[in-house]
Chain A
């Protein structure tokens, strides 16, 4: 079995940095399984990575109803079906996963780990980073 992909989706701004910050934290952590850690920006970058990975954990920030810091683990089937708009500006996580699924990525190989930041400009808290990193470590022993 090859390396598990752990991909953090993000951008350099605000709470959207979360995926990148968690990947950075994991790079300095001892992990229980061989992993490929990647910080992604455009979700369109994610599809080729998903197609190459035997199993994948994707980390992203969620703008939800709170409370802030709540972690959800979603499976491919949980992701809301949405109209595919193939501008890379409009190609979101859901569409990137849909495309990977259509191209043969088994739905059971993907876990999406999201943390509710509530507001896009929220300050990223150390507890959020540690919470996500800990969840990744646990999942790596289970999946």
Chain B
């Protein structure tokens, strides 16, 4: 292996990161054997959705919120809907709760399969991109695409369409799918069961690097289910809070090099996403998924950041197993939504987007219109941890490696978080000084 003087000047610039959602760059400089700058610069323009929502009727919120992200619209819709249902005092009935899990699992499956297949696997197998990988491993890539398509089918069943779905509303859904549509999807899910096991086993077998890190995992934990859209916010350092206490424990601040906010918990970075969920909720997985994980030789909790892809793969299997258990008992409801009376108030909610926990706070007036909205996505919450991860990974790897190897390592670390840079630029504080 080539080794160089670790005290040399290093100046690595990746002006546009590929195989991530949105637009960002990497700046990495080192002098005299020390890292000088190592930053993920998110330069995606601020999206300003929170401002767009002000003054809108509560019925419009799910449709506007969905536009924040083309990959994870359900996360934005579901979290905003539940925050507003908290204001209106709407408890979830079992049918609505089950269907919300189904559509959310669809989003996880399409997003996870896309990431593993097209973003992460080329890194681990040494290909420049998925097209190059597809020529060598066409069957593996095709299987991943088919699972992505199945995730989209799950989204369409309840959302009407897979991108910016329109089926969700405050109180439940606009439409209950007829039994024959559910039966068709159940058939597809049953047929995909072996496929997803093969896909997960393949993802777990990829030659992933070892990157042991000291980090705090944060995720939703539910008394009985794998934390997804209801429960408490917990960490492996003793956090156990109601969603409404989020603002007390988590604080955002701006940094000069990014249009995304940094988020800290008690002044420290924290980690969200599949590995954090698996670390905190392995015992809440269906036994079938726990057994499969053990068969694959996986152990959770894990401190190896690159186990994120294994956790993501297990969640693909979970999505199909749990959706089947819900839809195989499907009954048409009398009505797919619950009644409520709009009223003024403040509501908070968290759900688990594919990339990690997302927090929403809505304040509504007595006319049902939004007074203020806050939406904190997982990528901005992960940004401080990601940059710490970059520093530690580079220190472990060593500056004596060539620039190309250092750049590859940094890109792998960033992609491992599956960052959605477009979502992360959720708000920019503007200070106007007038003479």
Q: Tell me if B19 is interfacial: C-beta within 8 Å of chain A.
A: yes
B-facing residues in A38-76 (Cβ within 8 Å): 39-42, 44-45, 47-49, 51-52
B-facing residues in A98-122 (Cβ within 8 Å): 98-99, 102-104
Assess whether A86 is in contact with B129, with CB atoms less than 8 Å apart.
yes
Assess whether A89 is in contact with B131, with CB atoms less than 8 Å apart.
no
Chain B: CB-nearest residue to A103: B142
Assess whether A88 is in contact with B146, with CB atoms less than 8 Å apart.
no
Assess whether A48 is in contact with B119, with CB atoms less than 8 Å apart.
no
Q: Tell me if B383 is interfacial: C-beta within 8 Å of chain A.
A: no
Assess whether B20 is in contact with A102, with CB atoms less than 8 Å apart.
no
Q: How far is the CA of A42 from the CA of B119 in the complex (A)?
A: 16
Interface size class of A (residues with CB under 8 A): 20 to 34
**Contact flags B151-167 to A (C-beta < 8 A → 1, else 0):** 01000000001111000
Assess whether A48 is in contact with B149, with CB atoms less than 8 Å apart.
yes
Q: Tell me if B138 is interfacial: C-beta within 8 Å of chain A.
A: yes
Assess whether A87 is in contact with B162, with CB atoms less than 8 Å apart.
no
Q: How far is the CA of A88 from the CA of B146 in the complex (A)?
A: 16
Assess whether B20 is in contact with A41, with CB atoms less than 8 Å apart.
no
Chain A: CB-nearest residue to B150: A48
**Residues of B within 8 A of A (CB-CB), count:** 30
A12-B145 CB under 8 A given contacts A48-B152, A88-B71: no
Q: How far is the CA of A86 from the CA of B138 in the complex (A)?
A: 17
A interface residues, Cβ below 8 angstroms from B: 12, 39-42, 44-45, 47-49, 51-52, 84-90, 95, 98-99, 102-104
Q: How far is the CA of A42 from the CA of B164 in the complex (A)?
A: 10
Q: How far is the CA of A109 from the CA of B216 in the complex (A)?
A: 51
B interface residues, Cβ below 8 angstroms from A: 18-23, 67, 70-71, 114, 118-119, 129-131, 134-135, 138, 141-142, 145-146, 148-149, 152, 161-164, 422
**A102 neighbours in B (Cβ, 8 Å):** 131, 134-135, 138, 141
Closest 4 CB pairs of A and B: A48-B149, A41-B163, A102-B134, A103-B142
Q: How far is the CA of A25 from the CA of B152 in the complex (A)?
A: 23
Q: How far is the CA of A98 from the CA of B138 in the complex (A)?
A: 13
Q: How many Å from the CB of A9 to the closest CB on chain B?
A: 11
Assess whether A84 is in contact with B70, with CB atoms less than 8 Å apart.
no
Chain A: CB-nearest residue to B153: A48
**A90 neighbours in B (Cβ, 8 Å):** 18
Q: Which of A12, A51, A99 contacts B131 (CB 8 A)?
A: A99
**A98 neighbours in B (Cβ, 8 Å):** 131
Assess whether B163 is in contact with A47, with CB atoms less than 8 Å apart.
no
Chain B: CB-nearest residue to A47: B145
Assess whether B21 is in contact with A89, with CB atoms less than 8 Å apart.
yes
Q: Which of B138, B145, B164 contacts A48 (CB 8 A)?
A: B145
**B148 neighbours in A (Cβ, 8 Å):** 44, 47-48
Given contacts A48-B146, A86-B131, A104-B142, 15 further A-B contacts (CB under 8 A): A41-B164, A48-B148, A48-B152, A49-B149, A51-B149, A84-B130, A86-B129, A87-B23, A88-B21, A88-B70, A88-B71, A88-B114, A89-B21, A102-B141, A103-B138
